[in-house]
Amino acid sequence: MARFQALTNNVLDQELEMLRERLGLGASQKAELLREVAALAAWIVRQAEQGRLVEGRRGTDVEALRHPAIERIRAAKERPVGPRVALTDDEVSRLAEVLDRGFVLSPALRAALANLASTKRRPPKLRWKKTAA
């Protein structure tokens, strides 16, 4: 498996410097290096978004690309239910309180449920104003 680790700025600089040399770029071509790295990364992300496994092969020797970013893309693609709503920690705490406090049947909700069960339920008769209020 390829080596991925938390990189400090120094280590990141060294990695980029090594990449620059291996890609045959000169010391003054840092912008070119970033463009090439971005192009390679974009290709990998596109493959992952299309649900493809990214792996290196030589004969029977196979090395799959594993990285948290790829896992995030895969998880987002495989999410079973429709649109995703991501709650902040504060919202999660409030949700825990809501689900924990037990059922509170407000008068309006009680009326709504009773209306839904009633065969006499009718929509309101509307009076249209000429202009908006």
Partner 1 sequence: MAVRIEALGRQHRTLLAQFQNQHASLVEYLTRFALRHGEKDLLARTYVAIDEVAGAPRLAGYFSLSTVSVDRASAARLPGLNRLPGFPIAGVLLARLAVDARVQGQGLGRFLFEEALGLTLQLGRAGPVAFRLFVTDALDGHAAGFYERFGLARLGDQFPCRMVLDLGPILGAR
Calpha distance 71→67 (Å, rounded): 6
* Residue nearer to partner 1 on the CB measure, 59 or 83: 83
When asked if residue 119 is in the footprint of partner 1 (CB under 8 A), the reply is no
For the beta carbon of residue 80, count every other beta carbon within 10 angstroms: 4
Which of 27, 104, 119, 120: binder of partner 1 (CB under 8 A)? Answer: 104
* Residue nearer to partner 1 on the CB measure, 24 or 124: 124
- State the amino acid at position 37 in one-letter form: V
Show contacts with partner 1 in window 23-82 (CB under 8 A).
79-82
When asked if residue 128 is in the footprint of partner 1 (CB under 8 A), the reply is yes
Binding range to partner 1, per CB under 8 A, among 17-25, 39-47, 52-60, 85-93: 85-93
Q: Spell 98-118 as b/e; 16+ CB within 10 A means b.
A: eeeeeeeeeeeeeeeeeeeee
